[in-house]
């Protein structure tokens, strides 16, 4: 082809010109013809270089795209002639590719800022471009749901953590409260028992006092009777004294008569008169003595009367005291009973408090174990060899003093930490332990 062009456009006109020069007959026509031929050749060469330039332009745009610079385009396409369709096709492909990547980039720039409102626009893009963007939109939706879920999860776990933290604190407070209640109850029990003993002792003292008082009342009654008897006896003595006084008066009268008779007898009767005097003296002395005795008796009687009144008062008083003591006795008896009832009740309360303390301790223990478990789940490393679960050691010591269910739970958590149990079995067994 090239040879033909060279032959027809260079060799033939050159040969013609040489021939005409040789013949010395260079005609005007030939000169015009040859100049036209050379002009045509020049134009051809020009066109050839333009086409090369356009080709270079196209390959430059494609090479730039291949290097990741998608924003270059072929322009001024009018001059491309037959290759303009290729130029436009290249531009269109680049338009789609650039639009596609812009969409992807812009969407994910927003997604990275937690903005899920920017969807990739699929309209106008053909085939795989549009399909791929649709898939990306589905993926963004999934990321959004995941983000919402994660956020919600994060929030609930924060609330849960907060709740757990304060629950444990409150439980510990309750535990120490109930423990101090337990101590107080023990004190109350002690006081109730002391009260019981005191009431018993008081009751015994009152009983003794009551007995003594009864004894004393009886003694007073006896004293009364004896005073009465004394009073009667004094009456009899009074009668006897009257008789003695009467006898003394008659004796005095007899002595008087005797002295009168002795005086009439004169001298003979002198001795008799002495006797009569002596008898008179005797009767006077008897009468005086009787009067003295009577005075003593009267004073005795007055004393007995005083004793009688005093014993009467004593008797009444002691009866009142006895009645009061009896009601005291009843009082102390009921005091003793109530102290006993208090003690019994306190024992029940103490039992309840004790079981409350151990139940709270159990709850605290379990809460700690749950918290630890959550910690382990949250921070569990995927590295199989990184199996440290040191916080568990803090609880091991406490485990010995807890209920069997707590021990079971500890063992389960330990097995889980050591990866001897999977998550499903962990939950299943936890449920079982809690249900028991």
Partner 1 sequence: MLASKILHDDEVFLGSDELIISKTDLQGRITYANRTFIRLAGYDEEALLDKPHNMIRHPDMPKGVFKFLWQELQQGHEFFGFIKNATIGQGFYWVFANITPDFDSKGRVQGYFSVRRSPSAEAIKVIEPIYKNMIEIERRHSKPDAPHHSFSYLNQVLDSKRVSYERFVMQLQAL
76 binding partner 1? (CB under 8 A): yes
Measured between alpha carbons, how far is 416 from 407 in angstroms, rounded to an integer?
Answer: 14
With CB under 8 A as the contact rule, the residue among 25, 112, 117, 327 that binds partner 1 is 117
**Nearest distance, CB of residue 352 and partner 1, angstroms:** 59
Angle made by CA atoms 378, 384, 427, in degrees to the nearest 5: 50
Binding mask 214-253 for partner 1 (x = CB under 8 A): ----------------------------------------
113 binding partner 1? (CB under 8 A): no
**Distances in whole angstroms, Cα of residue 373 to Cα of each of 90, 367, 369:** 61, 10, 6
SS3 216: helix
Please name the residues in contact with 237: beta carbons below 8 A apart, sequence gap of 6 or more.
293, 297
**Distances in whole angstroms, Cα of residue 429 to Cα of each of 274, 285, 362, 404, 416:** 143, 127, 18, 14, 11
125 binding partner 1? (CB under 8 A): yes
Token duo for residue 124: 């106008």
**Nearest distance, CB of residue 98 and partner 1, angstroms:** 7
- Pick between residue 86 and residue 164 the one whose CB is nearest to partner 1: 86
77 binding partner 1? (CB under 8 A): yes
Measured between alpha carbons, how far is 315 from 216 in angstroms, rounded to an integer?
Answer: 9
Measured between alpha carbons, how far is 399 from 4 in angstroms, rounded to an integer?
Answer: 105
Q: Are 231 and 306 in contact (CB under 8 A)?
A: no
Stretch that binds partner 1, among 94-102, 209-217, 286-294, 390-398 (CB under 8 A): 94-102
With CB under 8 A as the contact rule, the residue among 73, 144, 380, 408 that binds partner 1 is 73
Stretch that binds partner 1, among 12-20, 74-82, 153-161, 373-381 (CB under 8 A): 74-82
121 binding partner 1? (CB under 8 A): yes
Token duo for residue 118: 């920017």
123 binding partner 1? (CB under 8 A): yes
Q: Which of residues 42-71 bind partner 1 (CB under 8 A)?
A: 68-69, 71
Residue written as token pair 């002395």: 285
Which residues of this protein are in contact with partner 1, per CB under 8 A?
68-69, 71, 73, 75-78, 88, 91-92, 95-96, 98-99, 102, 106, 117, 119, 121, 123-126
């Amino acid at each position: 082809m090239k040879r033909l062009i060279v032959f027809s456009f260079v060799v033939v006109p050159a040969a013609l010109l040489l021939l005409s020069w040789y013949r010395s007959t260079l005609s005007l026509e030939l000169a015009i013809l040859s100049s036209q031929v050379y002009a045509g050749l020049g134009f051809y060469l020009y066109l050839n270089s333009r086409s090369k330039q356009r080709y270079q332009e196209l390959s430059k745009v494609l090479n730039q795209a291949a290097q990741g610079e998608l924003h270059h385009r072929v322009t001024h396409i009018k001059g491309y002639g037959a290759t303009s369709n290729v130029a436009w096709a290249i531009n269109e492909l680049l338009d789609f590719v650039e639009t596609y990547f812009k969409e992807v980039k812009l969407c994910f720039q927003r997604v990275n800022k937690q903005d899920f409102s920017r969807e990739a626009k699929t309209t106008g893009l053909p085939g795989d471009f549009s399909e791929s963007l649709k898939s990306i939109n589905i993926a963004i939706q999934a990321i959004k749901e995941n983000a919402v879920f994660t956020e919600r999860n994060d929030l609930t776990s924060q609330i849960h953590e907060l709740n757990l933290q304060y629950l444990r604190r409150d439980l510990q407070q309750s535990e120490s409260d109930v423990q101090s209640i337990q101590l107080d109850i023990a004190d109350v029990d002690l006081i109730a028992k002391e009260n019981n003993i005191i009431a018993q002792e008081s009751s015994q003292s009152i009983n003794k006092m009551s007995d003594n008082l009864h004894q004393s009342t009886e003694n007073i009654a006896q004293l009364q009777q004896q005073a009465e008897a004394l009073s009667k006896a004094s009456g009899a003595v009074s009668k006897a004294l009257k008789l003695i006084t009467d006898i003394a008066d008659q004796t005095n009268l007899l002595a008087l008569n005797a002295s009168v008779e002795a005086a009439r007898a004169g001298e003979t009767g002198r001795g008799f008169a002495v006797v009569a005097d002596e008898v008179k003296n005797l009767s006077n002395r008897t009468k005086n003595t009787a009067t003295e005795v009577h005075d003593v008796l009267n004073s005795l009687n007055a004393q007995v009367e005083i004793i009688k009144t005093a014993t009467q008062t004593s008797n009444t008083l002691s009866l009142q005291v006895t009645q009061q003591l009896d009601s005291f006795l009843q009082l102390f008896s009921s005091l003793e009973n109530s102290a006993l009832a208090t003690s019994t009740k306190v024992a029940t309360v103490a039992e309840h408090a004790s079981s409350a303390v151990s139940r709270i301790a159990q709850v605290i223990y379990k809460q700690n174990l749950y918290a630890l478990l959550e910690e382990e789940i949250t921070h569990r490393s995927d590295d199989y060899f990184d199996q440290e679960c040191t916080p568990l050691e803090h609880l091991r010591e406490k485990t010995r003093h807890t209920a069997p269910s707590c021990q079971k739970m500890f063992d389960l958590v330990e097995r889980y930490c050591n990866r001897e149990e999977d998550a499903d079995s962990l939950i299943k067994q936890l449920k079982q332990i809690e249900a028991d």
